[in-house]
Chains A and B, each alone.
Chain A
């Protein structure tokens, strides 16, 4: 148990762990101390001076005991000057005031100085709606400006790299981006040049941010100095709906927020989750969402006409009836599932297909921080539901040899010759691929943004994500499609999860609401499965 310290903030008693700074301690009792340069995951800079608070320690007499005043309470000696809250650690008996007139004047003064050279960009700045400068100016700053000189002009709208645009005039010189690039991203390329009012943020000459974590500086910049180039002027932030989600691009499963409006996703930002990704997200995952609103998305179930070779659209009822009829008549059914499918879908898929099922591995290079080599978000989920058997080479051989004639593919691609060899190929996918071109039946599915489900990440953490936008056309979430093919009667995804929780001991006692927004760590005994081999990877695409 960490040691704790008792102090008083604005008259409220706070019990804070030792070593905590005053901003965090005030947050424990719901008091906001405005700050710009302080960030809980970066080193302390102390250059913005916005978090100034009035601190006082009890007066000690000669025996080092607190001297008691006439009312029985310890006499507090307040420091002659205000102290910054981010760099002051809590101490026993400390008394902090955050609302006295002295603190108010200090905040107004700091705010005024920050605003004297700030450009009047609010109408065109993307940060409006999430701009700390605006918010703290209205809450803690003065209402009237006394500045009559001309503002300093600095380079505007420069490209820091292809993904980030830098506007130097808006920068308030908090140095969060500099500290982030140096400490977290690992590339020390940003810094301040010139002095005084002419201080400018630049990238060192000849360099540009080249890490996989550059776009995090857009998140932590409190003003609109650093903006994401492909989100510039797209949407005003207050029109967007925030949906909590999980990144499906690797097995880390960083917690994200999807920002969407009227069925279009505009950007992704990371969410705080100390167990998974602190508050960062890699660029690889962050930028990979444009496929959700791709115009070539599959919108309707279709069947390949045997006579004409064209695809004909079907209703769900027709498609389901035809497929279930054909599956009953077929012999051995094989299934290729995806590590990108949710746990519920894999559970239903296993029920539908049986033993001859496997997922397709996708790997890449791990970058040592958040991005893992395993690019499937739900490998652990596939293993848990029994879909990751390692039989992929066997299945593909079987198709080549003609032993396997019926194949159901869930969200993966398949080689052309293999597709042509099959008698019945049912593909459930979101975007057109070679498999959907040659499939007998194509059933449209939904991306991670359009359905509610769970992933189990590489560290066996069960995480839930929510639907942000409605599906495209008449596409349905895959669990509904698989329920229809199974002939089961799950009314909602909560029922699928409940069934899964009954069957799989690792999920006992959980339901979708209990998982919460931060996920739950599962205790899974690793079943004995063959690891996915290199040969399998080479054969599948």
Chain B
């Protein structure tokens, strides 16, 4: 962690001699960007060693938001764990729900109906837009462009309204279930969503006008924290960071899941790998998400939204209260959990922050033997020492903003 330098206070002649012998670094300043800090996007601690304004060394510390999710998962049934997934990346809860649902369905070997897939796609893309709006807004606010923050948050409020319409909650959505969804998409959702994606490009364009060719913004972001292609892959970066460094890799195209193969969209990729590229990738991704949502709404099929698996999906309430088998199945499903087969599965989904992976080891029964959450923010944060070294103190906020991590996911 913090390194202590011991300097002897000897007389000035000896000190001058010492300085002549070796390079005089002067005394380096250790600055603590403590866990409580407005610009560190959550409880994240960085100890910086500064030589004047330049960062010579940097030690990140995490674990302040560690809640023991993986230990808790060994005690919860698969359905009981869904609210915990909301709180992983709490800026895009619907995306986490979707990723977890697909992981458990892959374990149980269930295929959900097409309507469910399309609704989940819309949810995931709305979450992506919400997360990127916050990422760009918070980064700009830290850099100094505070107006953008308010514009993007206005749109996020509208996304929260959409979340409330579809599942009743703004942040703690817990919308997906194993084998389907908690409830069908209500009729009022579709016109609301169409209006939202019709109005959103105006805000993105406005943000673009305010930032992308803004001299100050460019000065603060261009060629800052350049991440080469090899480094990005070596450090396991995923999501906009990987794409900003020039690797054209998106899990929605590479390992398509949940109906993404039916939609047409592009993957924005950067060239240099600096903060500017990552910002541009996020802006373009939002436009692509609007495209995907448009296609999903246009081609939304009717029909069932839950898989026809009577032993896994909870029966509907009317049947539970009036029929015997359904009551028993509901009872056992809630107390013991679904009867997952023995096996292990890794499922990676393209979350707004990167690749959110769930590695589930099941030894049979309703609770997982081990649930490992591969959090994109955890892996991306390893880049901080590499990216911050050699830059100025004031560049840290730009770098942290461009990495766009969230501690809920990182610490679990």
Query: Is there any pair of Cβ atoms, one from A and one from B, under 8 angstroms apart in the complex?
Result: yes
A residues in contact with B315, CB < 8 Å: 143-144
Asked whether B326 lies within 8 Å of A145 as measured between CB atoms, the reply is: yes
B residues in contact with A137, CB < 8 Å: 325, 328-329, 332
Asked if B294 is an interface residue, CB under 8 A from chain A, the answer is: no
- Interface residues of A, dominant DSSP: loop
Asked if B24 is an interface residue, CB under 8 A from chain A, the answer is: no
Asked whether B335 lies within 8 Å of A238 as measured between CB atoms, the reply is: yes
Q: How many A-B residue pairs have CB under 8 A?
A: 58
B residues in contact with A123, CB < 8 Å: 331
Asked whether B331 lies within 8 Å of A145 as measured between CB atoms, the reply is: no
Asked if B272 is an interface residue, CB under 8 A from chain A, the answer is: no
Chain A window 90-128, contacts with chain B (Cβ cutoff 8 Å), 1 for yes, 0 for no: 000000000000000000000010011010101100001
Asked whether A144 lies within 8 Å of B324 as measured between CB atoms, the reply is: no
Residue among B322, B326, B331, B339 with the highest chain A CB neighbour number at 10 A: B331
Known contacts A135-B332, A238-B335: A143-B310 contact under CB 8 Å:
yes
B residues in contact with A238, CB < 8 Å: 335
Contacts of B301-354 to chain A: CB distance below 8 A = 310-311, 315, 319, 321-329, 331-333, 335, 339
Contacts of B123-180 to chain A: CB distance below 8 A = none
Asked whether B311 lies within 8 Å of A120 as measured between CB atoms, the reply is: no
- Interface residues of B, dominant DSSP: helix
Known contacts A128-B331, A137-B329: A145-B339 contact under CB 8 Å:
no
Q: Which of A116, A118, A143 contacts B329 (CB 8 A)?
A: A143
| Size of interface on A: residues with Cβ below 8 Å to B | 22
Measured in the bound complex, the distance between the Cα atoms of B327 and A118 in whole Å is 11
| Size of interface on B: residues with Cβ below 8 Å to A | 18
A residues in contact with B323, CB < 8 Å: 120, 144-145, 147
Measured in the bound complex, the distance between the Cα atoms of B311 and A129 in whole Å is 17
B residues in contact with A116, CB < 8 Å: 324
Measured in the bound complex, the distance between the Cα atoms of B367 and A238 in whole Å is 15
Known contacts A138-B311, A138-B339: A145-B325 contact under CB 8 Å:
yes
Asked whether B332 lies within 8 Å of A120 as measured between CB atoms, the reply is: no
Q: How far apart are A85's CB and chain B's nearest CB, in angstroms?
A: 23
Q: How far apart are B330's CB and chain A's nearest CB, in angstroms?
A: 8
A residues in contact with B331, CB < 8 Å: 122-123, 128, 134
Chain A window 136-148, contacts with chain B (Cβ cutoff 8 Å), 1 for yes, 0 for no: 0111011111010
A residues in contact with B311, CB < 8 Å: 138, 143
Residue among A129, A135, A137, A139 with the highest chain B CB neighbour number at 10 A: A137
Measured in the bound complex, the distance between the Cα atoms of B309 and A138 in whole Å is 12
Q: Which of A129, A135, A139, A144 contacts B326 (CB 8 A)?
A: A144
Measured in the bound complex, the distance between the Cα atoms of B327 and A145 in whole Å is 10
Q: Which of B319, B322, B328 contacts A138 (CB 8 A)?
A: B328
Known contacts A134-B332, A138-B332: A144-B310 contact under CB 8 Å:
yes
Residue among A135, A145, A147, A238 with the highest chain B CB neighbour number at 10 A: A145
A residues in contact with B310, CB < 8 Å: 142-144
B residues in contact with A135, CB < 8 Å: 332
Residue among B315, B321, B328, B332 with the highest chain A CB neighbour number at 10 A: B328
Asked whether B332 lies within 8 Å of A145 as measured between CB atoms, the reply is: no
Q: How far apart are B409's CB and chain A's nearest CB, in angstroms?
A: 32
Asked whether B328 lies within 8 Å of A134 as measured between CB atoms, the reply is: yes
Q: How far apart are B308's CB and chain A's nearest CB, in angstroms?
A: 9
Measured in the bound complex, the distance between the Cα atoms of B328 and A115 in whole Å is 10
Q: How far apart are A105's CB and chain B's nearest CB, in angstroms?
A: 15
B residues in contact with A147, CB < 8 Å: 323-324
A residues in contact with B325, CB < 8 Å: 112, 115, 137, 141-145
A residues in contact with B328, CB < 8 Å: 115, 122, 133-134, 137-138, 141
Measured in the bound complex, the distance between the Cα atoms of B341 and A446 in whole Å is 45
Measured in the bound complex, the distance between the Cα atoms of B331 and A120 in whole Å is 11
Please give me the residue from chain A that is nearest to B338 by CB atom.
A138
A residues in contact with B319, CB < 8 Å: 144-145
Asked whether A115 lies within 8 Å of B326 as measured between CB atoms, the reply is: no
Q: How far apart are B336's CB and chain A's nearest CB, in angstroms?
A: 8
Please give me the residue from chain A that is nearest to B310 by CB atom.
A143
Measured in the bound complex, the distance between the Cα atoms of B325 and A132 in whole Å is 14
B residues in contact with A118, CB < 8 Å: 324
Measured in the bound complex, the distance between the Cα atoms of B329 and A134 in whole Å is 8
Measured in the bound complex, the distance between the Cα atoms of B332 and A122 in whole Å is 10
Known contacts A129-B335, A143-B310, A238-B335: A138-B329 contact under CB 8 Å:
yes
Residue among B315, B322, B325, B329 with the highest chain A CB neighbour number at 10 A: B325
Q: How far apart are B333's CB and chain A's nearest CB, in angstroms?
A: 8
B residues in contact with A142, CB < 8 Å: 310, 325
Q: How far apart are B327's CB and chain A's nearest CB, in angstroms?
A: 5
Measured in the bound complex, the distance between the Cα atoms of B326 and A123 in whole Å is 13
Residue among B321, B327, B339 with the highest chain A CB neighbour number at 10 A: B327
B residues in contact with A129, CB < 8 Å: 335
Measured in the bound complex, the distance between the Cα atoms of B330 and A122 in whole Å is 10
Chain B window 4-43, contacts with chain A (Cβ cutoff 8 Å), 1 for yes, 0 for no: 0000000000000000000000000000000000000000
Measured in the bound complex, the distance between the Cα atoms of B325 and A128 in whole Å is 14
Measured in the bound complex, the distance between the Cα atoms of B310 and A143 in whole Å is 5
Measured in the bound complex, the distance between the Cα atoms of B332 and A129 in whole Å is 8
B residues in contact with A145, CB < 8 Å: 319, 323-326
By Cβ-Cβ distance, the 6 closest A-B pairs, closest first, are A143-B310, A145-B323, A145-B325, A138-B332, A115-B324, A137-B328
A residues lining the B interface (CB < 8 Å): 112, 115-116, 118, 120, 122-123, 128-129, 133-135, 137-139, 141-145, 147, 238
